[in-house]
Structure 1
Amino acid sequence: MRIHSRAVLAVVTASVLAAGGLYLIIAGSGEGPGAGVPRAQPVAGQAKATTGEATPPATATTSAASPSPSTIQASASASAGASAPARQAARGGWVKVDQALWKKQLAAFKALKPAPVRNNPVKVPEFHVDCTVAKQSPDDAIVFPNLPGASHMHTFFGPDIIGASTTTKDLLAAEKTSCRTKGDNSAYWMPQLTRNGKPVPPHGFRIYYGSRLKDPSRTTILPPGLVMIAGDAKRQEPTPKDSGINQFWCAGAAEVGRSADGNWPKCGTGGRMIISITFPDCWDGKHVDSPDHRSHVGPAGPDGTCAGGRFPVAIPSISELFTYDTRGGDGFALSSGLPSSAHMDMMNGWDPAVLGPLVRTCINQGVKCGTTPTFD
């Protein structure tokens, strides 16, 4: 009980300071070299939409064990009383796509001819982008725009200009990015992983752009200005093995056990802890953002197509795969809380002239490419 009381007291203190216009920030750093990682299956059971992330609590680490569900839930309740400006920023609103620009980009995409399929590639509609860490900071340009330091700590990939006030136009104008595919200036970010309060550097980050639809040939490019979130920072539930909730698992070696609280895997020799987060395949065709940053995108309809549901435009489904230089075990936490709170933010910074051939050649033809629309 003492551990829980101290954690809750720290959260209440952080909330009081936030209400006065100050923010307690748990700083962290640590970068790891990016590396290619094996393809993983998307995590089942994506979280339902919410109205935004909770302001992060200040935590007191007094044990090697991960935070308990009761501690995390108390933290979320306390942080819900954060400053009014932060709550307003989290609500956001419906943002319409620039229809003139979208129609122009869509027409150019439809005029593209795919490269001929050669060398018998794998029949999986996808290509990928590899990135290294760009920066780590307590910012979130989607949930807390123009409020630097208002979020829990995030690990960012993409242009290093990303901050609380960054827009998709800023990304397109960025001169460099930590992602290796020239033409992808998108920004991607996820809660920071820690062990006993210290940052765990990612070993690699790979983004798969693909399709889970019955007919991937109808998939288009991403609309200009698109931002979205997958997962739910407020979801604080236990994640025993095979629970169906966002989970970390082992790559490179089998899982040999679980942490004391059951939420984290223990990997065998040579293994690394890994997690995947997947965005929907369909878009409403009208908005590039929504109040919860999720409701403008969604799943396919009952017939397995976007046209058969509430989101009629097929876009690439983005699966983001993180590997960490650790075999797992006890003492882990995300800056957002339990593993079930894992989520991913994405701001579209693609040059449509680069994204178009990748979608047309790889996804539309239902074949697996690497980082270019070729089959060499």
Structure 2
Amino acid sequence: MGRNTRKRRSSMAGKAIAASAALALGGGGLIWANFYASAHESHDSWGNRTKAAAAQVATISCPDVGQQLTDVPGRARTEVDGELANLDRQITDAYQRLATTRDAQARDASFVQNSILQPLKDRRAAIIDRIQLEINRVGGNAPDRLDDLAGCTASPADQPQSTGGQNNGGQNDGGQQQGGQNNGGQNNGQNNGGQAGNGPSANDFVDITKVQPNVPAKPRKMRNASTGTFTTRCGVNANGNHNTDNVIVAPGVKNGAHHLHDYVGNQSNDAFANNDTFAAAETTCQNQQDKSSYYWPVLRVQDGTQDFDQNNDGGGKEGNVGKILLAKQAQITFVGNPTSKVVAMPAFLRIITGDAKAFTNGPGNANAHWSCTGFENKVQLTDKYPICPQGSSVVRTFAFQSCWDGKNIDSANHRTHVAFADRNGRCQNGFKAIPQLTMRLVYDVPAPVISNGQVKNAYAVDGFPEQLHKAITDHDDFINVMSGNLNNKIANCINRGQKCQ
């Protein structure tokens, strides 16, 4: 949150394994994800892969402690969030040491364990102890066996390790089967490719014209369905509003995301923003009542060029290199539910969809959707980047959780207050249907070229360095900063079956 032994493939057709992210054709000519199912039901290929014993270590997999913390008292959250950010920083530091000690690893088979993993485990154990103390100090009850999450593993690039913490998002796992096996493509002893040496690699790409259709039909609409849509226009971040913070997960921590975000809507989102900051901010949205923050990791093309953050934390210092691509379209639409009316979203609701650590965490909370224009209603990829034919553009699509617990605008692990509907579109466990945020980002991307197991002009999303820029780590973030009138207008519009903006 292993895989098959690496094998050389002679053609892209041999690598074309379709990852199944269910998307369906929505109104207004847009392509939207299957809003009514969990992001993932299962991912059999993860559990069935075996380790390649001879492969060189390429990344570090650590249990995601934050996803286990489903009940942190409010008085402890600031301290706990800060300690979780320290855990992320430790993993980044350990990965960087892993990447810069290849010679020592080749000379000493025990180097990784003794010089990287064991010190990392000791440092993580100290932070986990502090997290437990903070929770218990204010009357909370830290989870049992949290100490068991201190140890990490080192793995070849094609072997993400399931380390616990999956499926803690409150989602109902009624979604689709997930394929998308990685089929090798690196030689033992080589790094994982990419302009910075940490991906992506040739086997992270697939020719979309060679992938079989995998998009199922949408759920059947019931009599009480809410069929309207509300579109907000907030631009594509043409003004270059970027930072490497993540105020939801790591408030008060600079570079808490360890990768760069595009921001549209609210213009005051950084590590130190709060609800008052958001409410007083300017917005890029045409509707000035929408000061919501919509943000996602930037997409880069690794063509040898450098961007402004080449020497910055979260940028080139952490393996996020290449030219930042500006989306040519960023379509933001709220849609309804096939079985029920929706209730208005609460002010300052926070939702994260997808998992920035899905390569090492496993796919439990992953929610990545990749396709090309002209293929969106036929093929959606989860853990591959598409190579689009000439004249076709790359598309990233996000469908956020659409069920809310009716009480909380956030939760300790930033997931359990919202959930996906089941495969029929129903919210479970007393959750209420809310307008579902859907986003569609379209990019003109130079087509990568695969030759002799190598990729030229690769493109990839920014991410934590140990995630190796895998497609499955794509994610999106939302903070609802709309007026009460606008929140009600959106719900009423959707419930009445209207198309509004």
TM-score clears 0.5: yes
Say what the alpha-carbon RMSD is for the aligned residues: 3.9
Q: Which residue of 2 aligns with 1:219?
A: 342
CA distance in 2, matches of 1:346, 1:200: 21
Q: Which residue of 1 aligns with 2:230?
A: 127
What SS is found at the alignment partner of 2:414? coil
Aligned residues: 273
**Structure 1 residue 300, shift from structure 2 partner:** 3.2
Asked if 2 retains the 8 angstrom alpha-carbon contact of 1:168 and 1:347, the reply is no
Q: Which residue of 1 aligns with 2:245?
A: 139
**Any idea what the Cα deviations from partners look like across 1:67-102, whole Å, max 9, x if unmatched?**
xxxxxxxxxx999978959x96xx99xxxxxxxxxx
**Any idea what the Cα deviations from partners look like across 1:269-315, whole Å, max 9, x if unmatched?**
22211111111221111211112211101133687433xx2243221
Asked if 2 retains the 8 angstrom alpha-carbon contact of 1:221 and 1:359, the reply is yes
CA distance in 1, matches of 2:269, 2:355: 21
What SS is found at the alignment partner of 1:202? coil
Q: Does 1:283 align with 2:404?
A: yes
Q: Which residue of 1 aligns with 2:445?
A: 326
Counterpart selection for 1:299 from 405, 420, 437: 420
Q: Which residue of 2 aligns with 1:163?
A: 270
CA distance in 1, matches of 2:406, 2:400: 16
AA at the equivalent of 2:414: H
What SS is found at the alignment partner of 2:296? strand
Please give the residue correspondences for 1:38-117 in structure 2 after superposition, counting only pairs within 5 Å. 38-42=29-33, 46=39, 51=67, 54=88, 57=92
AA at the equivalent of 1:39: L
What SS is found at the alignment partner of 1:224? coil
Q: Which residue of 1 aligns with 2:162?
A: none
Q: Which residue of 1 aligns with 2:279?
A: 172
AA at the equivalent of 1:251: T
Q: Which residue of 2 aligns with 1:23?
A: none
Report the CA distance shift for 1:281/1:247 in structure 2 as closer, same or farther (over 3 A): closer
CA distance in 2, matches of 1:230, 1:212: 18
Q: Does 1:210 align with 2:335?
A: yes
Q: Which residue of 1 aligns with 2:368?
A: 246
Q: Which runs of 5+ in 2 are unaligned?
A: 1-27, 42-63, 68-83, 100-116, 136-225, 303-320, 361-365, 449-454, 464-468
Q: How high is the TM-score relative to the length of structure 1? A: 0.62
Asked if 2 retains the 8 angstrom alpha-carbon contact of 1:298 and 1:311, the reply is no
CA distance in 2, matches of 1:342, 1:351: 29
What SS is found at the alignment partner of 2:283? coil
Asked if 2 retains the 8 angstrom alpha-carbon contact of 1:227 and 1:347, the reply is yes
Asked if 2 retains the 8 angstrom alpha-carbon contact of 1:219 and 1:316, the reply is yes
AA at the equivalent of 2:334: Y
CA distance in 2, matches of 1:266, 1:245: 20
Asked if 2 retains the 8 angstrom alpha-carbon contact of 1:253 and 1:270, the reply is no
AA at the equivalent of 2:336: S
CA distance in 2, matches of 1:207, 1:301: 23
Q: Which has the larger radius of gyration?
A: 2
What SS is found at the alignment partner of 1:280? coil
Q: Does 1:268 align with 2:393?
A: no
Asked if 2 retains the 8 angstrom alpha-carbon contact of 1:57 and 1:79, the reply is no
AA at the equivalent of 2:268: I
Report the CA distance shift for 1:167/1:245 in structure 2 as closer, same or farther (over 3 A): closer
Q: Which runs of 5+ in 1 are unaligned?
A: 1-36, 63-76, 93-122, 238-243, 372-376
Report the CA distance shift for 1:138/1:258 in structure 2 as closer, same or farther (over 3 A): same
Report the CA distance shift for 1:38/1:200 in structure 2 as closer, same or farther (over 3 A): farther
**Structure 1 residue 183, shift from structure 2 partner:** 0.9
Identity of aligned residues (%): 23
Asked if 2 retains the 8 angstrom alpha-carbon contact of 1:191 and 1:334, the reply is yes
Q: Which residue of 2 aligns with 1:201?
A: 326
CA distance in 2, matches of 1:347, 1:144: 14
Counterpart selection for 1:350 from 471, 482, 490: 482
Asked if 1 retains the 8 angstrom alpha-carbon contact of 2:234 and 2:265, the reply is yes
Q: Which residue of 1 aligns with 2:357?
A: 234
Q: How high is the TM-score relative to the length of structure 2? A: 0.48
Asked if 2 retains the 8 angstrom alpha-carbon contact of 1:213 and 1:300, the reply is no
